């Protein structure tokens, strides 16, 4: 039975560390993926990367089918993903379960060519466009220690500085459980 895991929040060191590649698929990895989908769903998210549930492996899950216009999209499990190429630019508002209450416009590629591994550790190359490409880029950033707020202008960063400080101190309320942490030296 999958379980809901607490979400790591801004200021936790694991969100700034590059993940380690998955080298074998075992019951631990399969259970982790099941817990990630369950946690994402229960948190009303559409994407979740392993660092967001305090794991340092290179896995992200995506399911945008809860959104009416994307209900035909199939969920994706990305193991050791990397973006091979990208085209175009598009600006759209983003948010993040690890940075509650903050949303901002972020410029990302319109389409990406992605390589990842499936549960047999077989290489898969796919092209993603539009919103699915955006979500994949956001989650892959998490696997590389990068957050959507890193793309913001200095002016916008100043605007959200106080909110980020509150999140870092654990002074934020969400509908989902958070991994409350002690202050770290990184960020801000």
Residues ≥6 apart with Cβ < 8 Å to 41: 63, 66
Is pTM beyond 0.85 here? yes
Residues ≥6 apart with Cβ < 8 Å to 178: 6, 7, 8, 9, 100, 170, 172
Structural domains of the chain, ranges and CATH numbers in brackets: 7-179 (3.90.45.10)
Active site residue 69: no
Catalytic residue among 13, 69, 73, 139: 139
Instruction: Give the pLDDT of the chain (188 residues) as one tens digit per residue.
Output: 899 999 999 999 999 999 999 999 999 999 999 999 999 999 999 999 999 999 999 999 999 999 999 999 999 999 999 999 999 999 999 999 999 999 999 999 999 999 999 999 999 999 999 999 999 999 999 999 999 999 999 999 999 999 999 999 999 999 999 986 654 444 43
């Amino acid at each position: 039975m999958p379980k809901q895991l607490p979400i790591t929040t801004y200021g936790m060191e694991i969100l700034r560390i590059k993940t380690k590649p998955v080298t074998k698929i075992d019951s631990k990895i399969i259970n982790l993926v099941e817990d990630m989908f369950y946690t994402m769903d229960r948190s009303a998210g559409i994407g979740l990367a392993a660092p967001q549930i305090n794991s340092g492996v290179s896995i992200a899950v995506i399911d945008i089918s809860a959104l009416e216009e994307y209900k035909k999209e199939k969920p994706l499990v990305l193991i050791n993903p990397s973006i091979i190429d990208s085209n175009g630019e598009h600006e759209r508002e983003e948010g993040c379960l690890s940075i509650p209450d903050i949303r901002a416009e972020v410029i990302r590629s319109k389409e990406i060519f992605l390589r990842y591994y499936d549960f047999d550790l077989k290489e898969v190359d796919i092209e993603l466009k539009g919103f699915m490409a955006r979500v994949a880029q956001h989650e892959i950033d998490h696997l590389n220690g990068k957050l959507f707020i890193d793309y913001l202008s200095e002016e916008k960063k100043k605007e959200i500085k106080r909110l980020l400080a509150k999140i870092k101190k654990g002074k934020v309320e969400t509908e989902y459980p958070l991994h409350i942490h002690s202050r770290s030296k990184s960020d801000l």
